[in-house]
Structure formats: structure tokens, C-alpha cells
Amino acid sequence: MADELDLDAMIQRFRDRAQAVKNRPLPPIAGEERARFIEQAQHDFQDFAIIGDATAVLDDGVLTLTIDLRPPSA
């Protein structure tokens, strides 16, 4: 499996998914259903964007994603 796993491509797919969620049009729904859709889209974007910012390392069959959640330095 390690020979088949392209970590850069995997991370790029998460970046692409985050962008797709960000650009996803709202379906013709209203009220509570619309609010749930928007909330889920926000969670999806956040999750995909976080993974898209990760640094991936595969070491002895163990995939490690490092994600720096610290605020940028001033």
C-alpha cells in the first residue's frame, strides 16, 4: 500500500474538497433545513481545509498528519 499512496495527491484532494464545499451552491431549501445545510457545509469545509493544510509522512506503514493549529506569528 505504501508504494501506491501518493501523500501529496491525497493532501491536494482534501484541498480540492474544501474548495468544492466553499463553492457549493445552496439547494432550494429554507428554514431549519437550510440552517442545517449551511452548518454542515461549514463543518465539511473546516475538516477538509484542516487536512489540506497537513504535512503527511508515511513511516513504516504509519501515516502521520501534522497540523499546526497555532495562530500565525505577528
Cβ atoms within 10 Å of 18's Cβ, excluding its own = 20
Is 2 domain-assigned?
A: no
- What pLDDT is stored for residue 74 in this prediction? 62
- What pLDDT is stored for residue 31 in this prediction? 93
Beta bridge partners of 57: 64
Is 43 domain-assigned?
A: yes
- What pLDDT is stored for residue 14 in this prediction? 96
70 vs 11: CA distance, rounded Å: 20
Is 48 domain-assigned?
A: yes
Is 25 domain-assigned?
A: yes
Q: How many domains does the chain have?
A: 1
- What pLDDT is stored for residue 5 in this prediction? 87
For the chain of 74 residues, list the mean pLDDT of each consecutive stretch of 10. Answer: 81 96 91 94 96 94 94 80
What's the domain range around 11? 7-66
Is 62 domain-assigned?
A: yes
- What pLDDT is stored for residue 51 in this prediction? 96
